[in-house]
Amino acid sequence: MPTTSPATSSRAEVSAVSASTLSSPATSASDTVFYGIVNGLEVQTFVPSQRLVESDLAALFKVGRNSVREALQRLAAEGFVELSRHKGAAVRLLSAEDTLAVLDVAERMTGLLARSAAINASSSGLVAALKTCVEDISAADAAQDVVLFAKVRRRFYRVLLDMSGSRELKRLFPAIQLPIVLAQHRLPSLQKIRVRDYRQIATAVAAGQVDAADAAGMAHVQHVREEIVRLLNDPPAD
């Protein structure tokens, strides 16, 4: 995995991903760094094992180094970053065992999120917004726009979280370390799986089909796991 400094990354990409977060918009300088790194994993602005240099991050996100330190502490606490007294900060690199453990949690949480959204679908006033997300995801996929796809994907999950009405899901769901898994295992097939599965999740949620929504949410992560396990068992030749 690359270990280059983020100073070499595209500033346009960083600006795009840091402007759109999974839970709520950044409200402080440390939020900007925190969500910029988490969301940047999806578009490979940041990659597992990459060193995170405070001065580079401060320049990249146009914030003070105290804000960078605060964000790195939060990222470490949530398992996205590893801090070393001698080596500094680096994006966490997951073992195969850790990868599957993250997917186990993501499977249950995604099913619960879809179930909760389906329960409240009719009263949420967000069904149209959810359907729009699905169409926008398909359009971004057709345009092969990676940054736009990532942005709309996060909006899809934000709508589901808002539909769920659950404070606990809004607190816990963004903390799942799935961005690291997806950054570490970049498979072209995963985007097509998302397009198909998100449509199935949205259809069940919009119809208020609670059990079907739960099953569709869990099935999505199962499909992702199947692709990653296939890669782990049969890695490509160098």
For tokens 């726009």, what's the residue? 145
Mean pLDDT of 125-134: 97
Is residue 177 within 8 Å of 80, Cβ to Cβ? yes
Residues 42 and 134 in one domain: no
* Confidence class for position 140, pLDDT limits 50, 70, 90: very high
Mean pLDDT of 204-220: 98
Residues 112 and 132 in one domain: yes
Name the packing angle between helices 188-206 and 210-233 (round to 10°): 170
Residues 102 and 59 in one domain: no
- Its sign, for the CA torsion 95, 99, 102, 104, is negative
Query: What six digits make up the tokens of 103?
Result: 């997917």
Q: Is residue 215 part of a domain?
A: yes
Number of domains in the chain: 2
* More confident position, 1 or 216: 216
DSSP 111-169: HHHHHHHHHTHHHHS-HHHHHHHHHHHHHHHHTT-HHHHHHHHHHHHHHHHHHHT-HHH
Residues 204 and 174 in one domain: yes
pTM of the model: 0.81
Q: What is the pLDDT of residue 8?
A: 43
Q: What is the pLDDT of residue 26?
A: 55
Q: Is residue 163 part of a domain?
A: yes
* For residue 20, pLDDT beyond 70: no
Residue 123 has a CB neighbour count (10 Å cut-off) of 10
Which residues are bridge partners to 83 per DSSP? 89
Q: End of a domain among 63, 91, 119?
A: 91
Q: End of a domain among 51, 69, 91?
A: 91
Q: End of a domain among 66, 91, 116?
A: 91
Residues 35 and 49 in one domain: yes
Q: Is residue 22 part of a domain?
A: yes
Q: What is the CATH number of the domain that holds 39?
A: 1.10.10.10
Q: Is residue 1 part of a domain?
A: no
Residues 113 and 228 in one domain: yes
Domain carrying residue 198: 96-233
Q: What is the pLDDT of residue 185?
A: 87
> Residue type for 78, please?
E
Instruction: Write down the mean pLDDT value for the chain.
Output: 87
68-114 pLDDT tens trace = 999 999 999 988 999 988 889 999 999 999 999 999 999 999 999 99
